[in-house]
Structure 1
Amino acid sequence: MSESDLHLRIAPELLLFLPARRRREWQRVTPDGTSTLGHVVESIGVPLPEVGPLIVEGAEVGTSYQPVAGDVVHVHAMSRPQRVPLEPGQDAPRFLLDVHLGTLARRLRLLGVDATYHNDMDDPSLVAEANRERRVLLTQDHGLLCRRALWLGAYVRGTKANDQLRDLLERFAPPLRPWTRCTACNGELAPVDKSEIDRLLETGTRRSYDVYGRCSECGQIYWRGAHSEHLEEIVRSALRTTRQESQVGGESR
């Protein structure tokens, strides 16, 4: 190794962020004497929200550390489960998902996780909302995660919804409260007497089911329906992933 260069050892979990032609564990960078270590790591393609401890000569340093020629830096991935700072009165992390993660958003809501989603919001607006509401911004856009104004974000691994959900649950281990949120709008569900919604139900539904819930935000009605086995399997799988136990119930109208 050249003593005039900075040598970065990138954790295997972070190699996916590097260009294919440079996807190797050791990275060599020529320090300019002014850039921070955080800037150097992002300059090779790794978003800082994905980075865990940075180790130089056996000691942990911050992203503001100014590296010098000859430094050997071990760049670790963010540890799991990742702890999210909570606001006073908040008992679980909240999430904001970008335009490409609509299915994941619905599955998180199915599990009772507070997850907002927009398909018409640009990057600056997403960052502003995430910061304002202290939501973890979930995305597969490397550039969005590199925005310095963003308080906290995470890259969602996987191309299929099942893999994305498993990745999210393993990373943040949010408490699950299945069947307590509206999958359409993220509002909370409340029990509703059948007599209050009788006129809104189709004859077959009215005759077959007696227990209902209604979204406090959009008014959508939910019940345990004939097509809920797929949804129940999603819930069972999620509970196995997080080693939680919960009552299963509910289907959307």
Structure 2
Amino acid sequence: MLDAYQTLGPSQDRETVARLEQLRTDIELDFLLEDIPVLIRESKDGIGRVGQIVKDLKDFSRVDTNQQWQWANLQQGIESTLNIVASELKYKADVVREYQALPDIECLPSQINQVIMNLVVNAAQAMGAERGTITLRTGQAQDTAWIEVADTGSGIAADTLQKIFDPFFTTKPVGQGTGLGLSLSYGIVKKHGGDISVRSEPGVGTTFRVELPLRQSRPGA
């Protein structure tokens, strides 16, 4: 309609035309004609991203399930978790993926996603002033699937490593950590019949490794 209006040309008296031209300048009509399609495009992109985040949140928390043991894709869980913590990583580290093909494993997916989130967020918080790298690896060894979260952060001293999974133990400043993240992760992994370990070198980085059985050996499973 605006395009059609502009093609009409001056069909009124000069005073009316001058008023219209002034109004066009005041409301920055030419700029709006260029900007509105861009804004609509960005809004549609944003809606798409919101939709993906909602999907990832559902995958992360499994809100549509009753915390039942089920077969799940570890890589899908990792990707959903990375999308959720993207803002935590954005300015601190680049993410490198080194995935190997894995079969689905029997687990409580939301709890495994929680473990991954704790490890990835800890890795991001371990970065110093310089941007670092977080590498996520997956693999299989016989009847066990494993996940590694490796960072190029500040590393952990040997005496601290011995206490890293203790409840309420934290190296973060007061008010910035509960000391429960790794302890809860340890409990979740053990509940799955798995193992979680850590190796670290101060000034070089830290690697957490989670090993999970492909199938649970619960009674009746």
TM norm structure 2: 0.25
The structure with higher relative contact order (CA 8 Å, sep 6+) is 2
Q: Would you tell me which structure has more helix in proportion to its own residues?
A: 2
CA radius of gyration, larger in: 2
TM norm structure 1: 0.23
